[in-house]
Amino acid sequence: MTTDASDAVEIRNALLRLRRGTSLPIAFGGLMEAGQRMRISELSGTATHALRSLAVTSGTGLGGKTVALSRPCVVTDYSASRQISHEYDAPVAAEGLRSVLAVPVVVRHRVRGVLYGALRTSLPLGGRMLDVAVEAARDLERALVVRDEARTLAAEAAAGAGAGPGWEQVREAHTALRALAPRIADPELRAELLGACALLTAEPAGPPLVRLAPREVDVLACVAAGATNAVAAERLGVTPETVKGYLRSAMRKLRARTRGEAVVAARRAGWLP
């Protein structure tokens, strides 16, 4: 399993929350790959690239111990700790890390990744710092669940009767065009672009059964493409809270209980391809 661009955004957001909430100057992390190996893909506050792309095997080092035990682990002095193995001492020393905490990202009872926070001095890490790090991991877990749901929805749609060859490409094009439209200053050109978007939807005859605001459609298009709130916000140039507001409003209008139901209902109503 590789880390795609959307997952990378979610990991970076989780690392920023970890740093802000704990005041730890350094954070890094990544997701599991095939087998029992986790690869560090995102760095925040580091001074070198020594940790980038480091592959950590389950049971080895601090992160590997966290993966194996599926619980947070902490060391006060990494290189001198007798609680962990020392396969990764060289890159850790190159970054100058001493005190390090690691928390697992667990989705449906399976470790999907690890978030780390660290200091370059030897000081105890625990209590509130560990609680905040765990909460950052929980936020990432929730984001990954949404991503999984979106991928499942896309796979089901592709296997359905209406998904012929190239249909997913049509949907991706629709999402990209909807995200681009608000950035076009020329109102005529913007209207022409949105008109092209409408040609990609299977709009039913007669008046629409449900009326959605343009931004509600933009958000639903991003959700249909598998984007989480953070990724949708980045694409549309708004805040995640704004995305949540539009999504709640659209779900209410569509009488949908979940994001997936909202996408299906929007497609049936002709708002999405």
Please tell me the number of Cα atoms within 13 Å of 38 on its side-chain side: 32
- How many whole angstroms separate alpha carbon 185 and alpha carbon 178? 14
Which tokens sit at 271?
Answer: 């708002």
How many folded domains does the chain comprise? 3
pLDDT score recorded for residue 151: 62
Do 66 and 138 belong to one domain? yes
DSSP at 99: S
Same domain, 32 and 85: yes
The amino acid sitting at 186 is D
Same domain flag for 192 and 65: no
Q: Could you tell me if 26 and 154 lie in one domain? A: yes
For residues 20 and 92, membership in a common domain is answered with yes
Where does 160-258 have alpha helices with state H?
A: 167-180, 187-199, 214-224, 229-236, 240-254
Q: What is the pLDDT of residue 253?
A: 92
CA pair distance 164, 151, nearest whole angstrom: 18
Q: pLDDT (tens digit, 0 to 9) for every residue of the chain, 273 residues total?
A: 555 677 888 899 899 999 999 999 999 999 999 778 999 999 999 999 999 999 999 999 999 999 999 999 999 999 999 999 999 999 999 999 999 999 999 998 899 999 999 999 999 998 899 999 999 999 888 878 766 766 665 555 555 544 444 666 677 777 777 777 776 666 776 777 777 777 676 555 445 568 899 899 999 989 988 888 988 888 888 899 999 999 999 999 999 989 988 998 888 888 887
Query: Are residue 107 and residue 183 in the same domain, yes or no?
Result: no
Q: What pLDDT does residue 208 have? A: 57
208 is written with which tokens? 């629409």
Pair (215, 197) in one structural domain: no
pLDDT at 93: 97
CATH number, domain at 245? 1.10.10.10
Q: Is the pTM of this model over 0.85?
A: no
Question: At 42, which CATH number?
Answer: 3.30.450.40
Tokens read off for 199: 């040609």
Question: What integer pLDDT is reported at residue 206 of this predicted model?
Answer: 47
- Phi, psi at 237, each rounded to 5°: 75, 30
If asked whether residues 187 and 213 sit together in one domain, one would say no
- The domain in which residue 218 lies consists of 209-272
What local confidence, expressed as pLDDT, does residue 171 receive?
A: 73
At residue 2, what are phi and psi to the nearest 5 degrees? -105, 160
Count of beta carbons in the 10 Å neighbourhood of residue 208: 11
H or E stretch covering 185:
none
- Does residue 190 sit in the same domain as residue 259? no
How far is Cα 263 from Cα 222, in angstroms, rounded to an integer? 10
Contact assessment for residue 102 and residue 73, using Cβ atoms and an 8 Å cutoff: yes
Based on the domain organization, do 138 and 57 belong to the same domain? yes
d(CA 50, CA 42): 12
Q: Residue 160: how many CA atoms within 13 Å on its side-chain side?
A: 12
User: Tokens 């005041």, residue?
Assistant: 23
**Structure tokens belonging to residue 196:** 């092209």
Domain match, 228 and 198 both = no
Left (φ > 0), alpha (ψ -120 to 50) or beta: where does 70 sit? left
Same domain for 154 and 35? yes
